[in-house]
Amino acid sequence: MIKKKIVMLGSWGVGKTSLVRQFVENVFEDKYLSTLGVKVDTKQVQVDGKEIKLMLWDIAGAEDNFSVPMNYLKGAAGCLLVVDGTRKESLQTALELKTLVEKEIGALPFVVAANKSDLQWQLSNADLEDAFPKPTDRWFSTSAKTGQNVEALFQEMAERVNA
Amino acid sequence: MGQEIENMRIHFYGVQGSGSIFPSKEERAAARLQSDLQLLEQVFKRLQDEHSEDGQLKGSIRDVLGGEPERNSLTKFREQLELVEPRVYGGWTTCFRIETADDYDIVIDCGSGFRICAEDIMQKWGEKEERHLYIFGSHAHFDHTEGFDQAAICFDPRNHIHILANHQYLQALDQNLGIFSHHIDMEVGGIQTPLHYELMPANFDSTEIRDLERYPASAEDDPMVGTFHHINEPIVLGDTTIQPFEVFHPDPCLGFRIEHNGKVFVYCTDHELRKGDDEDHPLQIASREAEQRVIEHATDADVLYRDGQFLEIEYHGHQGINSPIGVSRKDWGHSCIEDVVAMAERCRVKQTYIGHHDPNRTWSERNWIDETLVRRSEQSGRLFEMAKAETVIDL
């Protein structure tokens, strides 16, 4: 079976862990506990009739002063950037991480989750369209709480890394 | 610190695991960048406060600075700024010191941090007549013994150094230095160190901490051992009670619960919560039993220092430390940061310092983990930190 490493990147508290838990276990917990280091989960998805095992590397969030160590990204096939729609600054962090990834290991297929769609957002669709303007850029308005677009997000990621 | 000690004062001299380190050029540059950015932010904030509505400075730079830009005025200006010390994790291997209110000096482990620790003790003692240091050793590995013969305290004949540890720790000191038995085998003499007991005029004595129920002391026991102490009995020094307990490590290793007037510090270095697949494996059972002992001693402790050398992903070999190439760390004798945090939360420990840092972990990565721990502390209401050398805690 084909295995693909997907790194989840974003500021702290944007919902990376919750997205993975919703996708893998169909579970959401309101209580927020920061991820320490990295947590790896797996799930199989089908793309064009083929089984692909996604290795989801849920990496502790980028902090204000110290970002994610780049050696965690080695071997990644794709990058899932997570933004918190209720915190505008998390979009800037995601863009900085994307730039850092491109500088350190080269361009990776990426998909953006604009998370917490069940809450009142600071971000607008226009902000996201400005940030990710290319026709190939793809972002999803997701909710780890309700499950909105979570399956679609990871399915898109699987298709990108399989292309 | 200079303030009176209420119960006990804990000093961290060395929190580095496996080997001493010195920050690389890149790490120094990153630390400097952090400091510079912080300084510039404060300076420009200050200038912002000093400008009028049209954006011009109200006075001259000289007015802002309080003088010409020379050393004195710059130093005074800097003192007015609220600058945070950069986090320093230190480069020396394991050494802790406890000063008690009733004037006992206790050291745990003699890694390379012991050299500076001993300097501080000597400075405190000055010319006083009663000069007793109690050293508790966890285990014999080099990063817990290497600083012993570098410490000035061993070279002053007025000093009395009492060493309490398991057999292996006492042996590690004695086989190269002969400080207890006054004997060194010809094959090892001078190989690891040029020093030996004849060149180290302090007075040394040894107490072996042993499970005397399982392994009773006998007349034929090693001449390096002065006295024996049963591991399940506490050692009492004035108002301080030190309870040793066995942890899980490839070399037999002790943890210590130190209590003074109801305040508790638990020291647990080099202990592995083993993550094997077979729950019935003898090593897995031994690790689980040792973990239970750590839990019993650490429950409701005020301060816990515990080895968390790896992240779980590194332990399982999915990821290297400062390297993408992973190596399994099972049976290396160290625990995972995630497990330490979970255990300390369950045990309601008030302050947990995670140490025995892997020498390969970069300063930037330590900071990244530390900032996550700060966030975790805010969430749990209990303090978690990556242990930093030069930390001083008053209990």
Cα–Cα distances in Å, from B340 out to A43, A118, B16, B258, B279? 28, 34, 17, 19, 20
Cβ-contact A2, A50 below 8 angstroms: yes
Domain ranges across chain A: 2-162
Cβ-contact A79, A109 below 8 angstroms: yes
Tens digits of per-residue pLDDT, B27-58? 888 888 889 999 999 999 888 888 888 878 88
β-strands B303-307, B351-355: how paired? parallel
Burial B185-198 (b: 16+ CB within 10 A, else e): eeeebeeeeebbbe
A74 and B379 within 8 Å at the Cβ level: the answer is no
Nearest to A160 by CA among A49, A59, A78, A80: A78
Cβ-contact B129, B110 below 8 angstroms: no
Q: Output the tens digit of pLDDT for each of chain B's 395 residues.
A: 467 999 999 999 999 999 999 988 988 888 888 899 999 999 998 888 888 888 788 888 888 888 888 999 999 999 989 888 888 898 999 999 999 999 999 999 999 999 999 999 999 999 999 999 999 999 999 999 999 999 999 999 999 999 999 999 999 999 999 999 999 988 888 898 999 999 999 999 999 999 999 999 876 767 888 999 999 999 999 999 999 999 999 999 999 999 999 999 999 999 999 999 999 999 999 999 999 999 999 999 999 999 999 999 999 999 999 887 899 999 999 999 999 999 999 999 999 999 999 999 998 899 999 999 999 999 999 999 999 999 999 99
Beta-ladder partners of A110:
A79
Of the candidates B34, B323, B341, the beta carbon closest to that of A36 is on: B341
B372 and A34 within 8 Å at the Cβ level: the answer is yes
Q: What is the DSSP string of B86-149?
A: PP---SPBSEEEEEETT--EEEE--STTHHHHHHHHHHHHTT-S--EEEEE-----GGGTTTGG
- The complex's ipTM? 0.90
A36 and B322 within 8 Å at the Cβ level: the answer is no
- Write out residues 27-86 of A within 8 Å (CB-CB) of B: 32-40, 60-61, 63-69, 71-72, 74-75
The pLDDT, as a whole number, for residue B219 is: 64
What are the backbone angles phi and psi of residue B16, rounded to the nearest 5°?
-85, 135
Cα–Cα distances in Å, from A93 out to A66, A87, A97, B179, B389? 11, 11, 6, 58, 31
* B58 backbone φψ class: left, alpha, beta (φ>0; ψ -120 to 50): alpha
Nearest to A12 by CA among B35, B361, B275, B368: B368
Cα–Cα distances in Å, from A7 out to B162, B226, B233, B364? 53, 58, 51, 20
Residues of A in contact with B367 (CB under 8 A): 63, 65-66
A69 and B322 within 8 Å at the Cβ level: the answer is yes
> CATH: 2.40.100.10, 3.40.50.720, 3.80.30.20, 3.60.15.10. Which one for B8-21+90-394?
3.60.15.10
Domain ranges across chain B: 8-21+90-394
Does the A2-162 domain belong in CATH 3.40.50.300?
yes
